[in-house]
A = this chain, B = another copy of it.
Amino acid sequence: MIKNTRRVQRGEASLSRERIIEAAIALLDGAGESGLTFRALAERLATGAGAIYYHVDNKTDLLNAAADAIVAAVLPAPAAPATGDAPVVTAPDASVAAAADASPQTAVRAIALAVFDAIDGHPWLGSALMQAPSALPMVRILESLGQQIRALGVAESAQWQAVSALLHYIIGVAGQNAANAQTARARNAVRDDFLGAVADGWAQLDAVHFPFTRGIAARLRVHDDRADFLAGVDYILTGVSTAGL
């Protein structure tokens, strides 16, 4: 009687950090932030919960690794992969890399949009980046932006503030869009319907205390997240150029 040891089967590799990260991303994409559980992960990987800890420090480590896999795939690698567990996800398209010979402003916009779109596709990434402002994925974005800010000719003494403002803005928008997506998901609503409901709430606010919010409610209903996001990037780029060169 032939007994297959479970671990070595056709194609299915044994448990590894890489396979765990892959499964974590699948869980996060499929069921949102709350879908990532060591028990769900163990079931999907056909192993015990404890085994995962042999390859991963803890949940924070796992979430950071998942985030880094996405960010590394989406940003132009500075030259070559910097860490061992980078290419779990295949790069969707090389649009950012293609912008290498464009103006620094164009390149900054491309980086910003790459991050924005990545989070649009993986809302959990927004909270992950927000929670770990110093981890490797953030450093990747910082580095990409920084190289362009240098190319822009910003004085060295102003580079930190310029990059810092861009980075905080990009991650800030990302985090809030992620939160919106998460809230919409929790209510089993589509994002647009959810924002429509928010707009309804704003329109009904007290006219004496909230005149501006009431007036702007209609715009919330028809706004374009991506365009608004880019407008903010351009505000900052304009401000940086005016102040810093």
Pair B216/A159 contact, Cβ less than 8 Å: yes
Main secondary structure, interface of A, reads helix
Contact of A172 with B by CB under 8 A: yes
Contact of A34 with B by CB under 8 A: no
Pair A143/B212 contact, Cβ less than 8 Å: yes
Pair B212/A142 contact, Cβ less than 8 Å: yes
Tally of this chain's copies:
2
Contact of A85 with B by CB under 8 A: no
Known: A133-B180, A235-B235. A216 touches B171 (CB 8 A): no
Pair B239/A234 contact, Cβ less than 8 Å: yes
Contact of A46 with B by CB under 8 A: no
Task: Name A's B-contacting residues (CB within 8 A).
Answer: 77-80, 82, 130-134, 139, 142-143, 146-147, 149-150, 159-165, 168-169, 171-173, 175-176, 179-180, 183, 198, 201-202, 205-206, 208-213, 216, 219-220, 223, 228, 231-232, 234-240, 242-243
Q: List 5 A-B contacts (CB under 8 A).
A: A134-B180, A143-B210, A143-B213, A164-B231, A235-B239
